[in-house]
Amino acid sequence: MGLDPRLIRALLKKGITQPTPIQSAAITWIL
């Protein structure tokens, strides 16, 4: 998706590996 590697590391550190369905829809719409 082209996200900043620092953001990816921060999300993984928090245990977040996949977006929620609402986040997926919002990200798709924003892009």
The pTM assigned to this predicted structure is 0.50
Q: Which domain holds residue 27?
A: 1-31
pLDDT tens track for 1-31: 678 889 889 989 999 888 888 888 888 777 7
Contact 29, 22 (CB under 8 A): no
* Count of domains forming the chain: 1
b vs e for 6-24, b when ≥16 Cβ sit within 10 Å of the residue's Cβ?
eeeeeeeeeeeeeeeeeee
Model pLDDT, residue 8: 86
Model pLDDT, residue 1: 61
